[in-house]
Amino acid sequence: MKSIQQIREELKRAPEAELPALCRIYEEDERKGVQSLVIQTRKRLEKLEKEITRLDKMREFEHKYEYLGYVCGIDEAGRGPFAGPVVAGAVILPKDCRILYLNDSKQLTEKKREELYEEIMEKAIAAEVGYASPARIDEINILQATYEAMREAVGKLSCTPQILLNDAVTIPGITIPQVPIIKGDGKSVSIAAASIVAKVTRDRLMRDYHKIMPQYGFASNKGYGSREHIEAIRKYGPTPIHRKTFIHNILEQE
């Protein structure tokens, strides 16, 4: 007879498809420890089933347009911060690609975003980012700079998409057909993937800036206007990565 620890390891390592049959086998085992493991595994399967159902719903737009060819999700990170670039992500996923817990980047922990980023980059047909610098944001405004970053991300893709699924916006200057989807990062797996790629790329960049300019707290605030960040701007002045059009009110209040 297998020990409870052996059964625990077996259930832990078994492929999802084998778990229901294993549960049926081990539910005959009267040991309390084994019964507990069966209950835990069934709960795990229920959670997995709900997640798969959620992801299937998030593929509705991809399924609707996949007949056209490559479907590309577009999203950005960093429109609101006082410092750092705006970053756009463009991601083409394979048909019926399953990446569990893929969601709007804002709904995920930093650790989960990092994990999903690696899986997206491994599984994606193509994934790229585009940037618009703080100086460019000041020059042409944040919306136009966001569009530039999005065009750059699309232009860098290794294959040309036949349709773009965008989070809420229609990007000017692109001939590829576009579908703007309100709150698209929670409704489309492609847009969700793009939001994670953009967010993780930008957060990593802000952590690098923190190493150079630690007094502003970029590693934690990511350039957003936290109280500590505002106080640092007033104390030390703006840096080359601050958006002058975003912080002029702070400087005027000194």
Task: Determine what percent of the chain is predicted with pLDDT higher than 70.
Answer: 99
C-alpha distances in Å from residue 53, one per residue of 49, 119, 177, 204: 6, 20, 28, 32
Q: The domain containing residue 31 runs over which residues?
A: 4-56
Determine the pLDDT at residue 68: 97
Q: Which residues contact 69 (CB under 8 A, 6 or more apart)?
A: 161, 162, 163
The verdict on 11 and 119 lying in the same domain is no
Q: Which residues contact 31 (CB under 8 A, 6 or more apart)?
A: 4
Q: Name the pLDDT band for 161 (thresholds 50, 70, 90).
A: very high
pTM for the model: 0.90
Task: Determine what percent of the chain is predicted with pLDDT higher than 90.
Answer: 85
Q: Which one, of 245, 250, 19, 6, lies nearest residue 134 by Cα?
A: 245
Q: Which one, of 175, 172, 159, lies nearest residue 72 by Cα?
A: 159
Determine the pLDDT at residue 250: 82
In a domain, 153, yes or no: yes
C-alpha distances in Å from residue 205, one per residue of 31, 138, 221, 222: 52, 19, 12, 9
The verdict on 120 and 139 lying in the same domain is yes
The verdict on 71 and 46 lying in the same domain is no
The verdict on 49 and 68 lying in the same domain is no
Q: Indicate the SS3 state at residue 115.
A: helix
Q: Encoding tokens for residue 205? A: 């960049």
